[in-house]
Chains A and B, each alone.
Chain A
Amino acid sequence: DTEVTQTPKHLVMGMTNKKSLKCEQHMGHRAMYWYKQKAKKPPELMFVYSYEKLSINESVPSRFSPECPNSSLLNLHLHALQPEDSALYLCASSQDSGQGEYEQYFGPGTRLTVT
């Protein structure tokens, strides 16, 4: 099973709202990722968690706050977003194999629209 699930599928929020995106995997992977993707562009890395600890923050604005409650779950808390933050937000996970094959498995994404 190589499934990564994400909820919600779609989200519309105002600039003053607080919302959260959720991601879950049951593959025993120890690394989880958040990406932002604009239409017809490649995904842009936002955060990486390894063994439930934040290991990479790609200079993401503080209005995005990641959280990893356990090894299977990853959240992205959103607050005071801007219209330009509208995008497809993708979660991914990979096995911490140490063999150089960093296969990442992506979820279906959350389509976020900020009004």
Chain B
Amino acid sequence: TQLLEQSPQFLSIQEGENLTVYCNSSSVFSSLQWYRQEPGEGPVLLVTVVTGGEVKKLKRLTFQFGDARKDSSLHITAAQPGDTGLYLCAGAGNAGGTSYGKLTFGQGTILTVHP
């Protein structure tokens, strides 16, 4: 069974601070997705990382995939109140050799950015 450990579980910071969220696993994933979810809404896909060592930037968000494709991080620079939400990492495997594969979700990080 593939597991993804996400940390920290809760993060409460002031506007302007930087933060990093981590996802770690002992399993290799073919790709890893990061989602952000606001209360009462569905998760919104932020980025997919596929290649070991890959770094992707989305404005103030920087995503990194570990060289061995077992871990990933999300770094937010100068956090804003609009960044508040539940952040989820999800690893994609290969279920039964088909391409639709099940996602393994981390437990999520609840981020609160105070003005």
Contacts and interface: CB of A to CB of B under 8 A. Distances in A.
B: interface residue count bin: 20 to 34
Interface string B4-39: 000000000000000000000000001101010000
B45 A103 contact: yes
Interface string B55-72: 000000000000000000
Nearest to B93: A102
Interface in B43-84: 43-45, 48, 50
Contacts of B42: 4, 6, 90, 92, 106-109
Contact of A55 (B33, B45, B100): B100
Nearest to A88: B40
A88 B53 CA distance: 35
Contact of B103 (A96, A98, A102, A111): A102
Contacts of A108: 41-42
B78 to A, nearest CB: 25
Given A42-B88, A45-B103, A96-B100, A101 B48 contact: yes
Interface string A94-105: 101111111111
A43 B88 CA distance: 9
Nearest to A110: B42
A102 B101 contact: yes
B70 to A, nearest CB: 15
Contacts of B94: 100
B105 A104 contact: no
A45 to B, nearest CB: 6
A109 B92 contact: no
A56 B31 contact: no
